[in-house]
């Protein structure tokens, strides 16, 4: 886990409004990946939080090259980067559970826009916007 400053980028993709308990909706959006034909890094972005991770939020899956009117501009900001070497859905979910239980991380989070970056190498990094 390390703190980084990331440059602004625009991610375009498919979006839903959901909450963490709505696993079927989230899986449904992930199932669209093959149809989207995303050839570069894939981003799963959480934004427009109602409150924190317990409330509703917008969830967008896409990348910088996808042709879509749905987009999120990730502003240049401070992020906490959490690398996941074993990029299975179970490991990503387990990492989020650990994030939600960590009070120090919770206290630093801005709940503006957080995202997962999936690299072609199979690695995943979760980026949390922090103070």
Domains detected in the chain: 2-129 (3.20.80.10)
- State the pLDDT at residue 69: 94
Q: Is the dihedral of CA 49, 53, 55, 56 positive or negative?
A: positive
Percent of the chain with pLDDT over 70: 100
pLDDT tens readout for residues 70-128:
999 999 999 999 999 878 889 999 999 999 999 999 999 999 999 999 998 889 999 99
pTM, to two decimals: 0.94
Contact 12, 43 (CB under 8 A): no
């Amino acid at each position: 886990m390390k703190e980084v400053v990331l440059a602004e980028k625009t991610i375009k993709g498919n979006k839903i409004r959901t909450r963490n308990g709505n696993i079927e909706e989230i899986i449904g959006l992930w199932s669209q990946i093959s149809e989207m034909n995303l050839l570069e890094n894939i981003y799963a972005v959480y934004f427009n939080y109602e409150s924190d991770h317990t409330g509703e939020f917008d969830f967008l899956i896409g990348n910088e090259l996808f042709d879509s009117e749905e987009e999120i501009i990730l502003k240049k900001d401070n992020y906490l980067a959490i690398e996941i070497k074993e990029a299975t859905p179970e490991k990503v979910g387990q990492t989020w559970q650990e994030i939600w239980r960590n009070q120090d991380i919770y206290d630093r989070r801005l709940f503006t826009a957080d995202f997962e970056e999936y690299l072609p190498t199979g690695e995943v990094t979760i980026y949390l916007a922090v103070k």
